[in-house]
Each structure stands twice: as structure tokens, then as C-alpha cells.
Structure 1
Amino acid sequence: MIRTVAATGALAIAMFGVSPALADAHMEAHGEHGDHGAAHEKQTIMPEGEGARAFMEQFGFSEAVIHGDTVYLSGVILGGPREGETQEEAFDRGFRYIGSVLARAGSSWDDVIDITTYHVDIDASMPALAAVKSRYVNAPFPAWTAIDIDRLYSPEGLVEIKVTARVTPAQD
């Protein structure tokens, strides 16, 4: 069973630009949950970069998990701007990364059904985050919960984003 620990490895990806890739498929029995012992495939997405992958394996979680027609992304931590960059540009880097994970999972920003954001200073981060989010998320809008917290796994992190999406439906 793969455990999802929000943000730890995704931090390495969003802040350091590690390139992720589709990894393993796992079989998980769900007989005790009412489906009479049927096995359902669970695919995991892991980074290609050796260091980021080792980090995720050390803590026992995946960058994303695809189960059925749902994609669950681990949290992605967004840091502050690099030299010469605005806060919006820094946050945009994280949204592009999330979009790349969604694409590899057979999904897109249009398929996002739920977003949860964790802010170390919600008043300071919300204007830039909302501006960037509006470039990626269109109507009909997903559910969104924004939570102010004391800190993230990475001390440099300002916002963590956790996303749930559906797999893009096949075109008939």
C-alpha cells in the first residue's frame, strides 16, 4: 500500500525542478469494502530524478496516485520568488508543475474537482495565488478550501497545493 504524505517529495519537484515520470502499477484488493474481492489497479507517478525519487521512497509516498478515474496529487509546496521574479511568477512555476503531473496522469486542470491550499500567511499569499489560479482554473470551478497554517514541511514554503482530479474522459 502506498501512503500519501503531503508535500515532502513534491517540494523537491516544485522548488528544484525535478522531472517526474509514470512509475509503478500496484494491485490492491478491496474485498472488505464491498466489491467482493475484486482487484483494482492503482498506478503511481514518481519522479525520474534519482534524488527526488529516493526522497519519496524514503517517506513512502507517491507524487500522484491514479485509482479508477480519479487522480490524487500529493501536496506541492510553492516557495518564494527567485531573484528578479515576482510572487506570481514563482507560484506559476508550481502550477505548471502540477499541470505536468496531471497530464502524465491522463488529466488536466480542466478535470480538477477539488483543490486544498495551505498558507503560512494567507493574507500575504492569497492575492498572487488567486491571480495565478485564475489562469489555470476555469468555470465550472472546482471545490477549493484554503487553510492558514503555522508552517509547511519546507521552511521556505509559502503555500502547499493538494489537488484531486478526474481522468480526462475519452472523446467519443
Structure 2
Amino acid sequence: MRNSKIFLLLGLASGLFASPALAEDAKISLMPEGPQALAFQNAVGFADAVIAGDKIYLSGVIAVPAPDATDLKPAYEQAFLRIQKTLERAGASWDDVVDITTYHTDLASQIDAFAEVKSRYIKAPFPAWTAIGISALYEPTGVVEIKVVALKRDAEGE
């Protein structure tokens, strides 16, 4: 009996038995603002971003070029602007990004134009960046998917 009381006290003190309300506060999901995107993401089951502790995890954003486009830069620009808007909604900026992972359907032909657009948003000190060549994306007409992790600034912006 005494051992079970000690376990209960240790569990309460360590947060092992935290209430569901406290657990929900530990993670905040940012959903899209537009009704069509919201309906899609609810149906598929993902958020634009999740804030957990001091990290902001953005879902991948796919760059989709216009039909018959030969220049992919406008599609990359649109994807980076969407990421920027999500970062801002989460209380962050490009300066807070610590990790970028990009998935390219044709890495060799895409990387130079992609890096040029990325450099408009990402400045030194640079985050980690991993570029991966893949065969397909969720969106069949997409060419690159960009996934970002950022640090959440405190209330004073530090």
C-alpha cells in the first residue's frame, strides 16, 4: 500500500498523470484559413502546422507549376509565400527556421532555380537543409515539397 502511494505521488509530481486538458495545451494545430483547404485537410487529417513546446512543425508545401510552365520559379515563390504566411500565423519568421527538407521530383534540373528562390527567403545564419530526389509527390502535378521546422519565439520575440 505504501509503495502505491509513493508511485502515485511521484506520478503526479512528474506529470505522468497529467489531465487531458493539460496534454491538449502542449500541442496546438494550425488549420488553414480557407474553407476548401480546411475541408480537404480535415478529410485527410493534417494541419498546416503544429506548435509543440518551442518548435513549430510545418506540413510539407508542394510547389505546383502552372500547366505548360517552363519556368518553375513562380511555383517555388508561391510555395515559399505560403510557408511564410504559416510561419507568421504561428508567431515565427524565416529567421526562426532551423531545418528545411525538400523533396524534388527531378533534383538535378530543379535545384539551381529552387536555391535561387530559397535564397530570397533564407539568410545567414542558415538552417540545416536536406534535399532529396524522389519519384512522386502526393499532388501529381507537384515538382517539389518543402517541409520546415522553426523555433517558436517567446512573448518578447527572443
Same fold (TM over 0.5): yes
Q: CA deviation at 1:37?
A: 3.4
Q: CA RMSD in A?
A: 2.0
Q: CA deviation at 1:104?
A: 0.3
Shift in CA distance, 138/94, structure 1 to aligned 2, threshold 3 Å: same
The answer to whether structure 1 residue 126 and structure 2 residue 111 are counterparts is yes
In the alignment, structure 2 segments of 5+ residues that lack a partner are 1-10
| Structure 2 counterpart of 1:90 | 75
Distance in 2 (CA, whole Å) between partners of 1:145 and 1:154 is: 21
Equivalent residue runs for 1:121-160 within 5 Å:
121-160=106-145
Distance in 2 (CA, whole Å) between partners of 1:100 and 1:132 is: 16
Cα deviation digits, residues 101-139 of structure 1 (max 9, x gap): 000000110000100000000011111110011111111
* Greater helix content: 2
Shift in CA distance, 85/121, structure 1 to aligned 2, threshold 3 Å: closer
| Structure 2 counterpart of 1:76 | 61
Distance in 2 (CA, whole Å) between partners of 1:145 and 1:135 is: 18
The answer to whether structure 1 residue 57 and structure 2 residue 42 are counterparts is yes
The 8 Å contact of residues 111 and 166 in structure 1, kept in 2 or not, is answered as yes
Equivalent residue runs for 1:27-66 within 5 Å:
35-38=15-18, 39-40=22-23, 41=25, 42-66=27-51
Cα deviation digits, residues 90-110 of structure 1 (max 9, x gap): 211110110000000001100
Identical-residue share of aligned pairs (%): 49
SS in 2 for 1:94: helix
In the alignment, structure 1 segments of 5+ residues that lack a partner are 1-30
Distance in 2 (CA, whole Å) between partners of 1:124 and 1:102 is: 28
SS in 2 for 1:135: helix
Q: CA deviation at 1:86?
A: 3.5
Q: CA deviation at 1:83?
A: 7.1
Letter of the aligned partner of 2:147 in structure 1? K
SS in 1 for 2:135: coil
Larger Rg: 2
Distance in 2 (CA, whole Å) between partners of 1:160 and 1:128 is: 14
| Structure 1 counterpart of 2:149 | 164
| Structure 1 counterpart of 2:91 | 106
Shift in CA distance, 140/55, structure 1 to aligned 2, threshold 3 Å: same
* Greater strand content: 1
Distance in 2 (CA, whole Å) between partners of 1:54 and 1:138 is: 35
The 8 Å contact of residues 108 and 168 in structure 1, kept in 2 or not, is answered as no
Q: CA deviation at 1:36?
A: 2.8
Moved more, 39-48 or 117-126: 39-48
